[in-house]
Amino acid sequence: MLLPHGYEGQGSEHSSARIERFMNLCAEQNMIVVNCTTPVNLFHVLRRQVAWTFRKPLIVFTPKSLLRHPKCVSALNKFLDGTRFLEVIDDPSEDPEKIRKVLFCSGKIYYDLEAFRLENGQDHVAIVRIEQLYPLPIKQLEESIQRYSNAQTWCWVQEEPANMGAWDLMMKNFKFTTSPLHLVSRQTSSSPASGFARKHQKEQNELIGRAFSTG
């Protein structure tokens, strides 16, 4: 099931596929929920779904804007060289020892976070993408976390309001960092999105800035 999901300044139903509702339905390994950030990872999760000898529902959240985002590209050889689906995409930082803060996220918000990091020289911050939300890839996350032995602040960053998105899942299951996971999100809201482009952009800019200032 491919569900459009991503905060792009449109109306409420354009923005949210209600990740939180699918998270509430997840239990006992009953389905797979992903939010991919690269074309090759989307390709390989679909390929994995077909190759598996068993059948379980696959829910794919797919931001529309990444169809034309200049950074959302994959080399052709990555589709063909035996690369598998990556449940977690770690930060490509060459020196993990200098990392003092780690931002965990899922979906298109990664590209906003990465752009801000580059523009503002925030090279002490790592951005880790959780591509598979359920089942939560514990082993891969633990391997990633072990790289950042000097990290002091750990955050979950989401575009959705605090009472929506995958935060509830993370809050209940993310128990293996050295300190509690901080939430960076929009304020609690009765609506998935404002629906006003100017207000949306103001919220988005504040959200991205807060992700780097928290802690």
Q: What is the reported pLDDT for 23?
A: 96
CA–CA separation, 122 vs 99, rounded Å? 10
Q: What is the CA radius of gyration of the chain?
A: 17
* Tokens 């939430």 sit on residue: 183
Which is higher by pLDDT, 122 or 83? 122
What does the pLDDT look like over 142-171, one tens digit per residue? 999 999 999 999 999 999 999 999 999 999
- Is pLDDT at 205 greater than 80 in this prediction? yes
Separation of alpha carbons 134 and 170, rounded Å: 10
pLDDT exceeds cutoff 90 at 188 = yes
**Which pLDDT score is estimated for 193?**
85
Confidence at residue 135, expressed as pLDDT on a 0 to 100 scale? 96
What tens digit of pLDDT does each residue of 71-115 get? 999 999 989 887 899 999 999 887 899 999 999 999 999 999 999
Q: Is the pTM of this model over 0.85?
A: yes
User: What are the backbone dihedrals phi and psi of residue 32, each rounded to the nearest 5 degrees, phi first?
Assistant: -115, 130
pLDDT in tens, 124-135: 999 999 999 999
